[in-house]
Each structure stands twice: as C-alpha cells, then as structure tokens.
Amino acid sequence: MVVKDAHGPGLNILPEELPEYVQLIRSWSGSPEMMVEGLDSSFDAAFFVGYHNAAGEGGNALSHTINGGVVHRITVNGQPASEFLIYSWMAAWYGVPSVLLTGDKTLCEVGAELHPSLVTVPVKDDVGGRSQGFSPTLACRLIREGAERAVKQDLSAARITLPEHFRVELTYKSHRDAYTKGFYPGAERVDAMTLAYETGDWYEANRFLLFAI
C-alpha cells in the first residue's frame, strides 16, 4: 500500500503511526500526477480520503481546487472540476479504478456520478461557512467499513472510460495570473480571467494545470 500525503505541504501524516506494509510519499516533486504521485498501472485500486468539493461549489466550508489563493474555478468539458475528479481521472488514465471516496456529502454525490462502482463515505455536510460532521471515532469506523466494501467488489468492473477529448477552463482570481500563464503552449485566452486548454490526453491536461496554477 502506498499513501500520498496530498494536503498543503504534504507533511501532515506521521510516518511512525503507519503499519510496516505502508509506504508514504511526502511533499511534492513537481510531477503532473501531483496528488496521486507514485501511482502507476500496477495498482489494483485507488482510495481518496478526506476530500472536499470543487472551487466555486458549495457543500464544504473550504471548497477549493488545488490552490485556493489562485484558482476561482476549473471546469472540464463544462463540469466543475474538483481535486477528486482531476486525480481520479489521472488514476483512470493509468487504468486504475477509484473505489473509495470520503469527504463532504456534496462531493460524494458528484463522485458517485463519475464512478458508478465508487463506495462513498460522507462524513460532513457544510452550509456556507458552517461545518457539520461526525465524531472522529464514528467517521473512522465508517471509513474502515467503506474501505472493506470497496476492495471486496470486482475491481476490474470498477474501471471507467475517460472522455476522448478534454476542454479545461481555468478561471483565476487575478487577471495577472491569467495573462502570465496564458503563454503556456496551446493555452487559449478566453477572457481577462480565464484560460482554456484542449487535448485528447488527460495527462497533458494535468501538465497544463501543473504549470498554469
């Protein structure tokens, strides 16, 4: 089992608290895989634990995508793009099914539409700046039970087929960022705040996001 510490600086998980069979990836190398760095086609499945809804969307008091200080909104083929969408599709690019998602109720509902075999464990339901969730003890028990259900299913049937084409639109909080990052090869300036990038390869879409954010 490989765990990617994917929040903030990537230095949150205490290695000494992990079982011996777990490998921990900390901090960031700068690869396009970002929050699923270390993943490849040899993995049986991917879990996404502690995720939140997308920038510009409700359901979580801390909704953002990748960098809350820079990004106002990201859409892919017109759909709001959460970190779960972006990186579960990165897993799918490698042929790895995403089978568990835990986080806010709204994201879990959206995630289930993206991955029909996904086991979801909503542990909070926010409104505006108000956060409402379970006790940590109960949340951990529900996540453990969800993980067991997720891995007992037919994992080969949980794989999804990605779209053939991707149009990524990235709206910044500052027009200065939009102008500067608009020099990325293939980027299209939609307006003063928004760039678009089109490709048939999801890995290339992630490369764009890496350099444009």
| Domains of the chain: total | 1
207 located within any domain: yes
Confirm if 27 and 13 have CB atoms less than 8 A apart.
no
CA–CA dist 199, 213 (Å, integer): 18
pLDDT at site 185 = 98
pLDDT at site 177 = 98
Nearest to 76 by CA among 86, 84, 67: 86
13 located within any domain: no
CA–CA dist 195, 204 (Å, integer): 15
pLDDT at site 201 = 99
Domain coverage including residue 126: 31-212
pLDDT at site 163 = 98
pLDDT at site 212 = 99
- Here the CATH number for the domain that contains residue 164 is 3.30.1360.130
pTM: 0.96
- Cβ-based neighbours of 184, under 8 Å, separated by 6 or more: 195, 197, 208, 211, 212
Strand duo 194-199 + 188-191: pairing: antiparallel
Between the CA of residue 107 and those of 96, 193, 212, what are the distances in Å?
Answer: 20, 26, 24
164 located within any domain: yes
Nearest to 160 by CA among 211, 117, 208: 117
Confirm if 210 and 34 have CB atoms less than 8 A apart.
yes
19 located within any domain: no
47 located within any domain: yes
CA–CA dist 104, 81 (Å, integer): 15
Q: For the chain, which residues score pLDDT lower than 70? A: none
Dihedral angle computed from the Cα positions of residues 29, 32, 37 and 41, in that order, rounded to the nearest 10 degrees: -140
- Average pLDDT over the chain, rounded to an integer: 98
